[in-house]
Amino acid sequence: MPKHAFKFPREVIESIRQHVRQAISAVEPTRYNQEANYTAALVNRLEGSVYDGEHGSVRFLSTVFDDRGPRSAESRLGADHAIIAEISDRARTVHKAILVQAKLGTLDEMTHSEFQSLKQQLTKMKRYVDAPKVMQVPEFEGGRYPQMISGNRVLHEEPYAPMDLPDYFVARVTTTLDGCTNPEIVSIVQDSSLVKLHVFAKLRRHITA
């Protein structure tokens, strides 16, 4: 699928932007104090049909990975959630998987050990997708507003520019710039326990050896 394959009119773009804004505003920080709970609530709100009309359709599916134990899905994959974007212009349909590790607060506020741990998580994610993401969630006056950051830039300790989540979906997802189109990965990450991940990893190592 070539980049910029879908160039939607303003009607579709505004539907996407509004959908993400509403998801953010629906998750009150006071009800979800811990990072894992907040992330799960937000990702759940993002799921659904965003647009379905004459110009095509946009739908988001979400998965929050199991995070308990040393062999949990999150510890193996590095990501705490995935978002699947199903995008169609009626003539063509593409499915893209975005792997994300979320962090409350900003990356600038992380300790050295926390930052190194994040890099380890991103390294795991890179085994399966080319462009892992970090979602930082700045907190201000009792509110939160998620921003997406390039995991590759974080991994290589390069300057990065956080992008507000609604703008990210409009600029990077619906244009097909971001996301993995490998159908096996798209299928695997829709299972919160990632039961097929080990088999896929073994097959991938065998093919690339």
Each residue of 121-148: pLDDT tens digit?
A: 999 999 889 999 999 999 988 789 999 9
Q: Is residue 23 part of a domain?
A: yes
Q: Is residue 135 part of a domain?
A: yes
Each residue of 41-57: pLDDT tens digit?
A: 999 999 999 999 999 99
Q: Is residue 174 part of a domain?
A: yes
Given this model, what pLDDT does residue 121 score? 93
Q: Is residue 3 part of a domain?
A: no
Domain count, the chain: 1
Q: Can you give the residue range of the structural domain that contains 183?
A: 10-208
pTM: 0.87
Q: Is residue 5 part of a domain?
A: no
Each residue of 158-184: pLDDT tens digit?
A: 999 999 999 999 988 887 778 899 898
Residue carrying the six token digits 């792997």: 99
Given this model, what pLDDT does residue 2 score? 46
Q: Is residue 99 part of a domain?
A: yes
pLDDT band per the 50, 70, 90 thresholds, residue 203 = very low
Q: Is residue 1 part of a domain?
A: no
Q: What is the mean pLDDT of residues 6-29?
A: 92
